[in-house]
Amino acid sequence: MELFGLFMYLLGFLAVALIYAIGCLGVNINWGFTGLFNVGVAGFFAVGAYSTAIVTSPPSPVHLGGFDLPIPVGLVAAIVFAGAVAWVVGRICLRLRSDYLAIATVGIAEILRLVFRNFESLGGGPFGVQRVPRPFESLPQPWSEIGFIVVLAVILLLLYVLIQRAWSAPWGRVLRAIRDNEEAAAAAGKNVEAFRLQAFVLGSAIMGLFGGLFALYTKTITPNAIEPLMVTFLPWVMLIVGGSGNNKGAILGAVAIWALWTMTEILTGLLPSDWASRAAFIRVFLIGLLLQIVLQRFPGGLLPEKPPIIRAPDEKHPDRA
């Protein structure tokens, strides 16, 4: 029984870690690939989470929908709506310099949070959207959890392969060029604005998917779940610790930080209860400190970025370039 509980705990850990890994890949496309400092992850997460929840949950008298549609439709909706919002935001804000972009995206994320909190006929107000379905939830334990984890793993693998392909493709090369030297990229005839917008929309759409999957996992979404600490800061720390610019690093960082987060939770859980509630704050402090240490001592993260090797034309067989 004890072992079974531990097993279930591990499954829960794995599910959340995989969801964070997906969000982290989105942040990596923005920051790691293109150098866009998007601190509005919470905003796109919220759009995605509410889209999935409204599309897939059964009809409700309070909020919009629910439309009771299949889960894949809900996830596509998360990607599409988060991407659409990002397109509008990007058109307006991407011309801003890095710090300004950070401030603007935080502001937009906060506006979105206010809208979801207060606009009851859209998102159900403070109670949010309930009764969101989860894939395989009708299966007995632990198979329902395992089924969901398989779904998450497949999505993550698919995304990883696609994004890794994009990374070594000319498209990814242009993004890195823009990140490292915008003027040079522009001088080489690249349409800097268009590429930045593409990267911003793609990354934000994945953050939307991150939100959608989170809504499926918790089977609900409320305004309180859109906490900038958990959905903006944590993915950022994961990416920087894992190694920004490296997709494997993004995934490794997500798993490592989430492991650290949950393990400290177990430790603080062993403390007497009034200490335990306080000790939870030490955890945030330590994660912040870890970020500072990584930034100062290991700026590349656990798996630093490795630019793909670009093969020079073969001298003996020039036609085989």
Partner 1 sequence: MIDFVNQYLIPALVLGCIYSLGAIGISMIFAILRFAHFAHGDLMAMGAYLGLFLVGIIDLLPLDGLSVNAKVLIALPFSFVATAAAAILIDRLFYKPFRKSKTIILVIASFGIALMLRSLIQLFFGADVLNYSTGIRFPLEMFKPLRVQERYVYIVVVTLALMFALHFMLTRTRTGKAMRAMSDDADLARVSGINTEKVVMWTWIIGGGLAAVAGTFLAMDTRLVPTMGWDLLLPTFAAAILGGLGRPYGAIAGGMIIGAMEELSTFPWIGDGPLISPDYKTAVAFAVMVLMLVFRPQGLFGGRVL
- Own/partner pairs, 255-259, CB within 8 angstroms, 24+ separation: 255/17, 255/20, 255/21, 256/302, 257/20, 257/287, 258/13, 258/16, 258/17, 258/20, 259/13, 259/17
Give whichever of 135 and 228 is closer to partner 1, judged by the CB atom. 228
Find, among 105, 87, 128, 111, the residue nearest to 215 by Cα.
128
| Distance of alpha carbon 102 from alpha carbon 40, whole angstroms | 8
User: Cβ of 275: how many Cβ atoms within 10 Å?
Assistant: 11
2-31 residues near partner 1, rule: CB under 8 A: none
Give whichever of 7 and 100 is closer to partner 1, judged by the CB atom. 100
Asked if residue 33 binds partner 1 (CB under 8 A), the reply is no
| Distance of alpha carbon 227 from alpha carbon 214, whole angstroms | 13
Backbone angles phi, psi at 302, to 5 degrees: -65, -45
| Distance of alpha carbon 28 from alpha carbon 244, whole angstroms | 6
Instruction: State the minimum distance, in angstroms, from the CB of residue 143 to partner 1.
Output: 38
104-143 residues near partner 1, rule: CB under 8 A: 104, 106-108, 110-111, 114-115, 117-118
* Residues ≥6 apart with Cβ < 8 Å to 233: none
Amino acid identity of residue 95, one-letter, is R
The binder of partner 1 chosen from 187, 188, 194, 295 (CB under 8 A): 295
Give whichever of 77 and 226 is closer to partner 1, judged by the CB atom. 226
79-108 residues near partner 1, rule: CB under 8 A: 92-93, 95-100, 102-104, 106-108
Instruction: State the minimum distance, in angstroms, from the CB of residue 286 to partner 1.
Output: 9
Instruction: State the minimum distance, in angstroms, from the CB of residue 312 to partner 1.
Output: 30
* Residues ≥6 apart with Cβ < 8 Å to 229: 284
Instruction: State the minimum distance, in angstroms, from the CB of residue 95 to partner 1.
Output: 7
Q: Taking CB under 8 A as the rule, which mask of x and - marks residues 230-249 in contact with partner 1? A: ---x--xx--x---------
Instruction: State the minimum distance, in angstroms, from the CB of residue 79 to partner 1.
Output: 24
Instruction: State the minimum distance, in angstroms, from the CB of residue 170 to partner 1.
Output: 25
User: Cβ of 281: how many Cβ atoms within 10 Å?
Assistant: 10
Asked if residue 194 binds partner 1 (CB under 8 A), the reply is no
Contact segment (CB under 8 A) with partner 1 among 12-20, 155-163, 216-224, 225-233 equals 225-233
Return the HEC string of 123-157.
HCHHHCECCCCCCCCCCCCCHHHHHHHHHHHHHHH
129 beta partners: 221
Find, among 28, 37, 67, 9, the residue nearest to 207 by Cα.
28
256-285 residues near partner 1, rule: CB under 8 A: 277-278, 281-285
Contact segment (CB under 8 A) with partner 1 among 136-144, 168-176, 258-266, 292-300 equals 292-300
- If binding means CB under 8 A, how many residues of this protein chain bind partner 1? 44
Interacting residues with partner 1 (CB under 8 A): 35, 37, 39, 92-93, 95-100, 102-104, 106-108, 110-111, 114-115, 117-118, 228-229, 233, 236-237, 240, 277-278, 281-285, 287-289, 291-292, 295-296, 299
